[in-house]
């Protein structure tokens, strides 16, 4: 059996679901644009530069979850999926995931974006395993804080290893392993698998992929 891991933002979707969720809430006047929009974009630029403080970002990103009832959050997310996320999913991305799902492989979506945002997206692709940053809850209510290690940079390896360990597996349990990602922030996990794949990569990841002879592909046009 093989292991296939997918990043989400700017990999399987043509955009960033974290950034898009905040912008969606701003457009609906749930969040104040003057207070949130600039910070949202600053965090995104820090992410792209590799300088993001993940804990500072999560304090910002998860706070709105603690301020509204779950039923309301779910209703907003339904609209977010329909209006924002599904148009970000290209036919090529769907085709790639569908093809890998037909293989003898253990498949997971591995993303730094929190699981409230990303579970419905994983289900949209038919992926049943999600490794994401976990928003903490108390008595079924979001606290606005993360629980455990964020699935970011080396944290993705820790979270994947813990997931595999829960099934009495590890990376060496698989004949071959793949990780598809667009970002140099994912270099730790890309270097962990036997087949790292750079998908519409940023400049740093593209250069690294060329240097090491990794596969480079695009999901922004038909396969």
Active site residues: 7, 9
Q: In whole angstroms, give the CA distance from residue 143 to residue 136.
A: 6
Tell me the CA distances in angstroms from 10 to 106, 112, 138, 171, 177, one per residue in order.
22, 12, 32, 25, 21
Q: And the tokens for 194?
A: 């036997």
Q: And the tokens for 11?
A: 């990999």
Q: Is-contact 63 25, C-beta < 8 A?
A: no
Q: In whole angstroms, give the CA distance from residue 67 to residue 8.
A: 26
Q: And the tokens for 82?
A: 């329909």
Tell me the CA distances in angstroms from 39 to 80, 116, 170, one per residue in order.
20, 21, 38
Q: In whole angstroms, give the CA distance from residue 9 to residue 216.
A: 16
SS3 call for 219:
coil
Q: In whole angstroms, give the CA distance from residue 118 to residue 108.
A: 12
């Amino acid at each position: 059996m093989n292991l296939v891991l997918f990043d989400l933002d700017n990999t399987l979707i043509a955009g960033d679901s974290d950034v898009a969720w905040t912008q969606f809430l701003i457009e609906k006047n749930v969040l104040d644009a003057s207070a949130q929009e600039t910070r949202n974009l600053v965090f995104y630029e820090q992410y792209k530069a590799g300088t993001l403080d993940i804990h500072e970002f999560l304090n910002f990103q998860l706070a709105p979850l603690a301020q509204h009832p779950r039923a309301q959050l779910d209703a907003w997310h339904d609209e977010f999926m329909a209006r924002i996320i599904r148009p970000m999913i290209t036919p090529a991305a769907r085709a790639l995931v569908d093809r890998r799902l037909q293989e003898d492989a253990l498949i997971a979506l591995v993303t730094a974006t929190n699981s409230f945002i990303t579970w419905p997206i994983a289900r949209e692709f038919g992926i049943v395993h999600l490794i994401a940053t976990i928003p903490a809850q108390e008595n079924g209510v979001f606290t606005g804080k993360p629980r455990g290690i964020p699935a970011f940079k080396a944290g993705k390896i820790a979270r994947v290893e813990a997931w595999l360990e829960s099934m009495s597996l590890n990376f060496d349990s698989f004949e071959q392993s793949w990780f598809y990602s667009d970002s140099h922030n994912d270099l730790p996990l890309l270097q962990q698998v036997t087949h790292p794949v750079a998908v519409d990569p940023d400049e740093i990841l593209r250069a690294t992929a060329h240097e090491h002879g990794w596969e480079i592909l695009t999901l922004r046009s038909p396969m």
